[in-house]
């Protein structure tokens, strides 16, 4: 039965991007979605958030590659799912680059 369960490599590849998606939402400012106006963010993104997000993406990619290269068959399946989560993390990260900052109401 244990050959059908992923090892530590597989679990790390799955958990890291899953937690990373929630962490990315926590460190970036709030998004505003207005009908007819578009999407904007509340405040400018801090440089520490950009650095932390970039390091998180690199770490997720490295763990996925490690699980694909040296893992068992179950690890490779889980690494493919983790790669999809990492792709979502990358899209969210770069999506913040193109959002304008909402002007503060005076």
Within-domain flag for 14: yes
At 96, list the tokens.
């913040």
Q: Specify the length of the chain in residues.
A: 106
Within-domain flag for 106: no
Mean pLDDT over 77-97 rounds to 93
Domain of residue 29: give its range: 2-101
pLDDT at 9 over 70: yes
Q: How many structural domains are present in the chain? A: 1
3-state secondary structure 40-104: EECCCCCHHHHHHHHHHHHHHHHHHHHHHHHCCHHHHHHHHHHHHHHHHHHHHHHHHHCCEECCC
Within-domain flag for 17: yes
Kindly report the pTM of this predicted structure.
0.84
Q: Tell me whether strands 31-34 and 100-101 are parallel, antiparallel or unpaired.
A: unpaired
Within-domain flag for 22: yes
């Amino acid at each position: 039965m244990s050959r059908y369960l992923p090892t530590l490599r597989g679990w790390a590849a799955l958990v890291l991007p899953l937690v990373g998606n929630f962490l990315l939402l926590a460190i970036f400012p709030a998004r505003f979605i207005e009908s007819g106006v578009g999407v904007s963010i509340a405040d400018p993104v801090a440089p520490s958030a950009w650095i932390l997000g970039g390091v998180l993406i690199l770490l997720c990619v490295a763990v996925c590659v490690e699980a694909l290269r040296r893992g068992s068959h179950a690890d490779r399946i889980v690494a493919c799912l983790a790669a999809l989560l990492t792709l979502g993390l990358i899209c969210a990260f770069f999506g913040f680059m193109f959002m304008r900052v909402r002007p503060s109401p005076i």
